[in-house]
Amino acid sequence: MPAPPGAGIVASGPAVGERAPAVHTWGVRDSWTPSSWRSREARHQPEWPDPGALEQALKALAQLPPLVFAGEARALTRHLGAVARGEAFLLQAGDCAESFDSSADSIRDKLRVILQMAVVLTYSGGMPVVKVGRIAGQFAKPRSRPTEVRDDVELPSFLGHIVNDIGFTEAERAPDPDRLLTAYHRAASTLNLLRAFTRGGFADLSQVSSWNREFVASSPAGQRYAQMAGEIDRALRFMTACGVTSDTTPQLHEVEFFTSHEALLLGYEEALTRLDSLTGEWYDCSAHMLWIGERTRQVDGAHVEFLRGVRNPIGCKVGPTATADEVLELCERLNPDREPGRLTLITRMGAERVRELLPPLLAAVRDAGHPVVWACDPMHGNTFTSESGLKTRHFDDVLDEIAGFFAAHAAEGTIPGGVHVELTGDAVTECLGGSDALAPTDLESRYETMCDPRLNARQSVDLAFRVAELLRSRT
């Protein structure tokens, strides 16, 4: 029997700090090891009160099996290569901060809305869609301030469930390294559920109609979705009559779904970095794709150092302060071999400035010949605080940034490769607007996010139709 993809991966790593130097067979030209980031400045790392306990937790993590396999990460790089060439579209979506308390239902509903968006983009946009969740590991958050003050009480900020708890007491906010292990186990069980759903019939194309739950179905976007699903059902009946069924064509029955998160806590990522003995290359086996956040993308910083050496496809956020030179340096450092699909630049400029700030970056990267995937994060440049004090985003700004992103690419002759959005499958009221015209006074009714405001399921499907229109007119 042929070895499954990634079978050569070393199941557990040597203890942290005791690793042998890597065998470099690809673009990592100078010395890199899974721990070489430790000699660089690592921003946004928690202040763990007990370094001994942290060390213990990292050692335990290094003994645990990988969550994903090298062969899967390689497949994603290949798919993203197609995105870089304009032959497919990337949909990266999920929570801002996942909770340790997410129920199976809420994980299923998040997957369902991502699948709905993907089918809209595929059918209506006419493109194969590469589906990547911000899921099964999106537990760590960088924050603008290290502490939070409420009624004269100052406590460490909430840094995501992998570090501390959201409650505002000293005990809940104290960074606890045992949470690193809980994060691993939560990621493993979420991934298990996702694998079951995407391989076990839930994602069968004959189910497209049934993904439209009542909350979405009763909205204008949901009605549009139902009509599209009817067309797909008819097409499937036609194909069945022609002898093309799930039995003959597994793509009708299963969906390829990948995981990703911000690689923020480098100790955690290092502990899950394993040598693939098939290729002699290092993979960060905590997720298929990892990205560097806007606050930690310093070219000489620890996060860039760590991610340049792992062979997974990687992303890097690019915000409004990024210069063309910085972006080119990031491309050189993170993808020196210029491999299509290796590097995704996720731009988040804000709706107001995207048309002015993005074109010079596109031109510089195009002229330097770097084959990046350009994805648009229309969320993080459009956050504001409503009068009631809740962080929110307006659907129109989200859409406007995506439209500006497509326009900038059309002007520069580059490829708008995908979108990166924060959403939930739940009927929350966190972002304003959309076809329901959610108003500021509605925000409080179901405001549940632990971090940034997310599109609800209706707004997400609505957005997918709008993006599909832009995609259809892509030049």
Quick one: which H or E segment has residue 189? helix 178-199
Q: What is the C-alpha separation between 135 and 189, in angstroms, rounded? A: 11
Q: How far is the CB of 348 from ligand PEP (least distance, A)?
A: 5
Among 173, 380, 394, 458, binds ligand PEP (CB under 6 A): 380
Stretch that binds ligand PEP, among 72-80, 101-109, 182-190, 292-300 (CB under 6 A): 292-300
Residue nearest to ligand PEP (CB): 293
Residue 293 interacts with, from Co ion, ligand PEP, none (CB under 5-8 Å by kind): ligand PEP
Q: How many residues bind ligand PEP (CB under 6 A)?
A: 10
DSSP assignment of 422-447 equals: EB-SS----SBBTTTTB-GGGGGGG-
Q: How far is the CB of 275 from ligand PEP (least distance, A)?
A: 29
The three-state DSSP-derived secondary structure of 95-111 is CCCCCCCCCHHHHHHHH
Q: How far is the CB of 377 from ligand PEP (least distance, A)?
A: 6
Three-state secondary structure call for residue 381: coil
Determine, following the binding rule CB under 6 A, whether residue 293 of this chain makes contact with ligand PEP. Answer: yes
DSSP assignment of 37-82 equals: GGGS--TT----S-HHHHHHHHHHHHTSPPSS-HHHHHHHHHHHHH
**CA neighbours within 13 Å on the CB side: how many for 399?**
20
Q: What is the C-alpha separation between 166 and 387, in angstroms, rounded? A: 23
Q: Which is nearer to Co ion, 96 or 216 (CB)?
A: 96
Determine, following the binding rule CB under 6 A, whether residue 135 of this chain makes contact with ligand PEP. Answer: no
Quick one: which H or E segment has residue 13? none
Q: Which is nearer to Co ion, 9 or 114 (CB)?
A: 114
Determine, following the binding rule CB under 6 A, whether residue 453 of this chain makes contact with ligand PEP. Answer: no
Question: How many other C-beta atoms are found inside a 10 Å radius of the C-beta of residue 190?
Answer: 23
Determine, following the binding rule CB under 6 A, whether residue 179 of this chain makes contact with ligand PEP. Answer: no
Three-state secondary structure call for residue 113: helix
Q: How far is the CB of 166 from ligand PEP (least distance, A)?
A: 15
Stretch that binds ligand PEP, among 101-109, 173-181, 271-279, 291-299 (CB under 6 A): 291-299
Determine, following the binding rule CB under 6 A, whether residue 294 of this chain makes contact with ligand PEP. Answer: yes
Q: Which is nearer to ligand PEP, 142 or 360 (CB)?
A: 142
Question: How many other C-beta atoms are found inside a 10 Å radius of the C-beta of residue 326?
Answer: 16
**CA neighbours within 13 Å on the CB side: how many for 267?**
24
CA 78: distance to chain centroid? 17
Show contacts with ligand PEP in window 311-350 (CB under 6 A). Answer: 317, 348
**Contact pattern from residue 56 through residue 95 relative to ligand PEP, giving x for each residue in contact according to CB under 6 A and a dash for the rest:** ----------------------------------------
159 to each of 89, 120, 264, 344, 432, how far by Cα in Å? 31, 34, 10, 25, 25
Applying CB under 5 A, which residues contact Co ion? 96, 452
Q: Which is nearer to Co ion, 205 or 457 (CB)?
A: 457
Determine, following the binding rule CB under 6 A, whether residue 357 of this chain makes contact with ligand PEP. Answer: no
Determine, following the binding rule CB under 6 A, whether residue 96 of this chain makes contact with ligand PEP. Answer: yes
Residues that bind ligand PEP (CB under 6 A): 96, 142, 262, 293-295, 317, 348, 380, 452
